[in-house]
Amino acid sequence: MNWLWAIILGLILGLIAKAIIPGKQQIPLWLTVIFGMLGSVLGNWLATGIGVADTKGIDWIRHLLQLAGAVVIVAVGDRLWAALRGKRKKTV
């Protein structure tokens, strides 16, 4: 059941990250989910590092760090995806 929640959270964070980043992203939906999941892991790691991973109530700072991680990973991943797809199209 934890994997299902990770996939759902990755999808939500990835889609929000794509909405925040200006312009059109070229990554497919499955990669958006993976990047969203990686952003969530990065945000949790940062939250643990600064000591705000477990607080009373809703962990707003942790959630914002997860979203920020997803935005960074989606932005970088989209650039890499576009570069790889561009090279592949030129050689074919």
Average pLDDT over the chain reads: 88
The pLDDT of residue 52 is above 90: no
> Is residue 58 very low, low, confident or very high in pLDDT (cuts 50, 70, 90)?
confident
Q: How far apart are CA 24 and CA 78, in angstroms?
A: 10
DSSP alpha helix (H) spans, the chain: 2-20, 29-50, 60-91
Q: What is the pTM of this model?
A: 0.84
| pLDDT for residue 1 | 66
